[in-house]
Amino acid sequence: MNSASGPLLAGLTATARAAAHARSPACPCGAATLADRPDGTVVRHADTVAKAHPPDTIPAELTSRLTLAAHHPDILLPPVDPTPVALHGRLVTLWPYGTPVDPGDPDAAPWEAAAAL
């Protein structure tokens, strides 16, 4: 994992930490880089995940997808905030840490409900 620049990764980690500990600055936990690819860098801190989207992400399209997720929490993981923020030339979104779709049991995901959108 080495596609994210040092300042981006450091800033993303700080953003996740600030969101995870918005009510209490005390922090006994550490951060973990979950993904570091050209199509996105993802950092987890406690129960919060920060994602830096690709540099060519179109803000209006991303905001539309975030708004959709925020309005359908029964079938999509809603973001912490449906408005992305800029960080080192990338749009960043914040998410609660959730369990991803199990690759061994993909049918357990609510695909039919999502298709109704």
* Domain-located, residue 1: no
How many structural domains compose the chain? 1
Structural domain range at position 47: 6-115
Q: Is the dihedral of CA 51, 57, 63, 64 positive or negative?
A: negative
* CATH number where 75 lies: 3.30.200
pTM: 0.72
Parts of the chain with a pLDDT under 50:
1
The verdict on residue 24 lying in a domain is: yes
Domain assignment present for 66 = yes
pLDDT in tens, 33-48: 888 988 899 999 888 9
CB atoms within 10 A of CB 111: 12
Whole-number Å distance between alpha carbons of 41 and 39: 7
3-state secondary structure string, 38-62?
Answer: CCEEEEEECCEEEEECCCCCCHHHH
